Structure 1
């Protein structure tokens, strides 16, 4: 498997993990999480951030929720729980050279968890967006977020990250993005 090479001077990238409609009915708080992921995807598009969407076994589980697929997103299929073990994911991520990856999606304690841990092990800064991840059982989500924090991932909210991406109210997209948030 090729090694990923993070670039410490690069822009952030949004990674949406396995937000597939066939899985949605089983998830706790799917509608709220989907709304957060949609917001993050729209903001990433406006800010021209790298944006990768993974799909776990799309032949069996179907495609990503169509409302989350933006023209700028690169959609990659995988069959491993960790996206990092997918050649397609590596092929999409490596040319970007991003060093700070923002993860959202489902399930918190399976694919998000394993992807985040392997990215951390490879030297990436990883932020998991607590209000933009879900699991079937909320307790599994809570346990996964606690363990990821212990393992070195940052855990924060979507709005915190969105404002960090803009850095200032002087950002040219500030008003447009603020309108999306409100």
Structure 2
């Protein structure tokens, strides 16, 4: 099961804790490209009818999602106020994941070694296939790499923004239709 390509028809994109509080822990040159990649993947997901679930940790203390990410949420999409590190541990979020009807979960956001890793492992324990996007997740070094290693060791798939884009798209006709919907504006450092 882990070796097959990730199909957009079975995928849900989960955007985790892209809040200024966590971004401020990263070096300045990482922040903008990271947020741009996450927002771009959200645009791609929306254009391909991939459901999106979003969380923000302890919003009363850590603040809302950053505006660049909030702006890409589908109409009516709520942002779950996540009070646990691993989202599978909060019934309301897990119920939302279940309601999506999707079994392939793609995770982006912050922080790789804590909320992303805990969420990935918890969701795998619920028999979901989990993919983490290495260049659309972050933690201050060396924690990002440690988180990715932990996720991979637990059976999660680790790929990048370009890789998941092409797995979702699959063919030239879909690629052309996608470019018509969202244009060709790519995040920094990404060439397709």
User: Quick one: distance in 2 between partners of 1:166 and 1:118?
Assistant: 28
The aligned residue for residue 56 of structure 2 is: 55
TM-score after normalising by structure 1: 0.88
Query: What is the alpha-carbon root mean square deviation over aligned residues?
Result: 1.9
Q: 1:134 to 1:71 in 2, by over 3 A?
A: closer
After alignment, is 137-146 or 87-96 more displaced? 87-96
Contact 1:82 1:111 (C-alpha < 8 Å) held by counterparts: yes
The alpha-carbon distance between structure 1 residues 101 and 156, as it changes in their structure 2 partners (threshold 3 A), is same
Match of 2:172 among 169, 172, 175: 169
Aligned match for 2:115, one of 100, 111, 116? 111
Which residues in structure 2 correspond to 1:6-155 (within 5 Å)? 11-28=10-27, 29-69=30-70, 70-72=72-74, 73-135=77-139, 137-155=140-158
Deviation readout 1:2-55 (Å, 9 max, x if unpaired):
xxxxxx995201001100123321124222211110111111111111001111
Q: How many residues align?
A: 174
Question: Structure 2 length normalisation: TM-score?
Answer: 0.84
| Range with bigger deviation, 31-40 or 100-109 | 31-40
Unaligned runs of 5+ in 2: 1-6
Show structure 1 runs of 5+ residues with no match.
Answer: 1-7
CA distance in 1, matches of 2:149, 2:125: 17
Over 3 Å counting, the alpha-carbon distance change for 1:9 and 1:26 in structure 2 is closer
